Structure 1
């Protein structure tokens, strides 16, 4: 999956979660104004919205974990295929980080 497609998928998921949370906030406001049977219905709807948000966050977690596993496998394969190049890249990165830290 390309970086652009992953970013678009991530943004869509975040927008979905924001929408669910916004709906839940609206329902909570309405529940505070209502009493009796209406309040019970609103509480049930809030509980449903929160379950939906939880499900979407679980879905997001699964997507992120899956993509992280793919990235780890690709990195592992690259390091095994190019051990000296990997050591050189790590050494350069550590040197640059050392320069940045020493300036502070």
Structure 2
């Protein structure tokens, strides 16, 4: 389930940035022909797109930090509970990496 949440957040962020790019391109294309109220409306749309993208990015960053901290905490708990198994796993991984590195 956390994978789906991260994927959805990435999709939301991508959609917001695509909307931002589209609005910016529209602003650049129409800016020569717009004056007064039309230009203000377009600037407001760009500002709202930027705000949505910034908020989504902030939420995604916070979510990733929380998930990363949870992974660190779970790893620390496991290592403290099972120290010899952790040493064995680390030694095994080191041995395999040594074998792979010596083949090159």
TM norm structure 1: 0.87
Could you tell me how far apart the structure 1 residues matched to 2:74 and 2:29 are?
54
User: Gaps spanning 5+ residues in structure 2: where?
Assistant: none
* Number of matched pairs: 100
Residue 69 of structure 1 aligns to a residue in which SS?
helix
User: Gaps spanning 5+ residues in structure 1: where?
Assistant: none
The within-5 A match list for 1:59-78 is 59-78=59-78
CA RMSD of aligned residues (A): 1.3
Of structures 1 and 2, the one scoring higher in RCO (CA 8 A, sep 6+) is 2
Report the Cα offset of residue 15 of structure 1: 1.2
Range moving further from structure 2, 54-63 or 22-31: 22-31
Matched with 1:58 is 58
Q: Which runs of 4+ in 1 moved over 3 A?
A: none
Change (3 A) 1:84 1:45: same
TM norm structure 2: 0.87
